Amino acid sequence: MSLLWYATRATGEITLLFLTVVLTFGVLSALRVGGRRVPRFVIAGLHRNLTLAGLGFLAVHIATTVADSYAPIALTDVVVPFGSAYRPIWLGLGTVAFDVLIVLTATSLLRTRMGYRRWKALHWAAYACWLAAVVHALGTGSDVRSSLFLLLAGVCAAVALAAVAWRLAAAGPGKTGLRAGAGLLTLATVLVVGAWTVSGPLADGWARRSGTPASLLGKASSPGPGTAGRTPTPRPTRATRSAGDDERGDGE
């Protein structure tokens, strides 16, 4: 069972990496980056094919999450957000990101049939999709307090922010108000998510506050017969984690 949960965490983090790289390649193609050395069709191709590869990791991430019996996550939670028994809001954001990603991929593959304007209007949602995925990772992730995860999330956020900033700066003349508004919205999002990360997932008692079922919280503080046979894996963050806070990290 713990193998499934480790697979879930690993593939989730890989998917976050993929989404960030894909977002960056999307911005690069919108900014017409490319020339003789790296032709533009290569950047467009990487944007598409890395999305499809990322979807593969995401499929494993979702399948292992549902298959793992530790947390009560049902099959409906894969597509219907905010209804799960386990951390409903933060798991639900992952579901939202998944739904949006599926819609964006499908509409991009059928792009020639739906028209450029409709496709593009929809494709702006990619930024929201990335944000939902990041907040999902921070809100449900079992490894949020590990320094490696924080490094990964930090690098992903920095890369995505740089891409967005470049996109806004280089969007060409006109629409100054819209671009300034988007810039302010980005800044506000960074501040809100940053403050929430420090006061939420990184603070004590997040497992309880995020909506983890009480039965799971109990299991962690007093290992029952189900967890007795398992060897706890020491991880760099064990020292900083208070008992019973992250039920996953201590129980498995």
Partner 1 sequence: MTWRLRVDPIACTGHGLCAELLPETIDLDEWGYPIIGSLSDGLLPLARRAVADCPTLALLLERDRTR
- Residue ranges that bind partner 1, judged by CB under 8 A: 29-30, 32, 39-41, 44-45, 111-112, 115-116, 119
Q: Nearer Cβ to partner 1, position 30 or 78?
A: 30
Q: Nearer Cβ to partner 1, position 47 or 136?
A: 47
Provide, rounded to whole angstroms, the least separation between the CB of residue 236 and partner 1.
Answer: 44
C-alpha dihedral, 161 to 167 to 169 to 172, nearest 10°: -170
Provide, rounded to whole angstroms, the least separation between the CB of residue 107 and partner 1.
Answer: 12
Provide, rounded to whole angstroms, the least separation between the CB of residue 31 and partner 1.
Answer: 11
3-state helix, strand, coil in the chain (%, to 5): 70, 0, 30
Residue 37 CA to residue 172 CA, distance in Å, equals: 24
Q: Nearer Cβ to partner 1, position 6 or 119?
A: 119
Between vectors from CA 130 to CA 168 and to CA 117, what angle results, nearest 5°?
60
Q: Nearer Cβ to partner 1, position 118 or 208?
A: 118
Between vectors from CA 159 to CA 157 and to CA 161, what angle results, nearest 5°?
65
Q: Nearer Cβ to partner 1, position 41 or 82?
A: 41
Residue 78 CA to residue 72 CA, distance in Å, equals: 12
Provide, rounded to whole angstroms, the least separation between the CB of residue 97 and partner 1.
Answer: 24
Provide, rounded to whole angstroms, the least separation between the CB of residue 3 and partner 1.
Answer: 40
Between vectors from CA 24 to CA 151 and to CA 105, what angle results, nearest 5°?
110
